[in-house]
Structure 1
């Protein structure tokens, strides 16, 4: 005798089932099980957070500052962020109602999408891009629409490319320069052309400027600093990259008051506030960390120059990244896909890189290599990659 099974309702949401796991994480998991690995895949500084920043955080705990802060973050920290953004990037924001301290820049992207998107709203994503943009748009009910950039254009996007993707459903654009994974930067004239399209079509812009301090050859231009763009820009940044504070999980967002207030609602209900001790550390970083930023930036620039020169010597074409700490060389000469190249390189030469296709349209045929590691490691990685390429080119 058989009995019918009771009907079981769907346990997981359709939205989460449609989201693919991070392609970057898959390669980290593979590499973690292997010996003698040189990792060029990690997107974080190889510097330890400066001691004075760590000391400020420790001191805050010793003094008993362990309670919640205001939902938006310590007012003193928000005031210091306002001063920092004005002095460094010529954008003026009010600490009281235009700045929110978040749990990393990733939270800022998440709650920004949820604050402005209704079901079916389209968001244009300039790719290759950080892997979380499209999934977070989808989880907020939006529809990501990709615009691919190319190596022959130094991975810059044109206003014409963006406008070709705009429909009646387009609500916003996400741009990120300096870019992860390509290291591309956009100059003021390029951004001004994009701004004209934004104004013409009444759009909002997510401008992820987490790598702003790591612009090597020209001063970073904030999208919000362009005429009439502050009122349309959700400016996202944080402390992870330039201040070597990845594990502290502290970011911030600057936005017009109506959008900032909507994001604050989401932040209140989901997280309450960013970690108090981390906020005190960030306060110290902003007050005294500019020399540390410059020291780290010069080190990255030296490694970048070595890396790009070495890629050319072993037969990989790579544009010169103007910022961040990634190189994005073409592997088209091998005839391998990005994933094939990355897997074979990992197993045969014990070098971990990230296949370019995980970063979206335009990423296939490339690999992302982080040069935020020691020169000794970079030199050994180049040697191993050179041996690998002799077999496949």
Structure 2
């Protein structure tokens, strides 16, 4: 499909059959997942048995509702392009009622999008953002008390570190002046030209979670005293959350290379997407205090010291960023892979091989969030310096999934 073809407007229905994975070739998978040599031949995405989350006071309370049974095969329908012309969109946060907030990594701004008309309103520029490489203004999230405090949280790269700030949003003020001065909630997360992490989200427990990267310094991922290569869990004020696995620490899990997506399923279990290096990208089900292996293990290691991923992909098929939960599945946006992955869940593992949709249709895909029910919001990422933007990029899409 040429560049023009992948931008065809209108309704798109894609249905693909699940990929059958030869799980019996365990020895081959172990060799490929731990190899330090050349890239193995692509074998497509694979799933593992995974490890379930054990109830504990450090994990969000589970819902009593039974697991939603996903359909045997999925579908994706692009309902419409909501808006175009976004500059390096990264974070996306739906507002209560109507409207979506989107952050610009390189411009350091937050913009409100009218999801009905596609109209844009600039809230303002976030002071202190120092964009470079993969750093800048990254994830955004609304306060769990947004209805009363109107606070927006943002993960950003400064001249010295990565940090989380919060700002008052006052939509009564003129465009460009609607953001209050940032209040630093948490600082000191290592920064780099690469692997800055950046996804933040409030969990069902009303605690703030943040995915960080190891900045290219691999040793940080295994160092529990470092904030790099971790998933962090903290109170809205930036203190270690009650019940965290390590005393007086915000570290929730470690051994990560570059966490880019966070989402909770119907049982309130945390899932995270992670960039691999040369061989395997990962989707992990997160248990507090667990070690996810990097840099000792990339992909499946079959070593009890490290938590194996539930699903993995070769890096040219994924390079995953945001994830969302809808209709019994995790939906994962892929950058280099230029597609949307569906990972159907059943219990604590993937119930079938992942399916891909929209391959090459819209280029690099950055962030996907739930729009309620069977709807998703999805942003492209063609203007991030690694894409090949065409007229209209970047875009916000509305999807219907099943």
TM more than 0.5: no
Structure 1 or 2, whichever has the larger Rg, is: 1
How does the TM-score come out when normalised to structure 1? Answer: 0.29
TM-score (norm 2): 0.28
Q: When you count strand as a share of all residues, which structure comes out higher?
A: 2
Higher helix share: 1
Greater RCO between the two (CA within 8 Å, min separation 6)?
A: 1
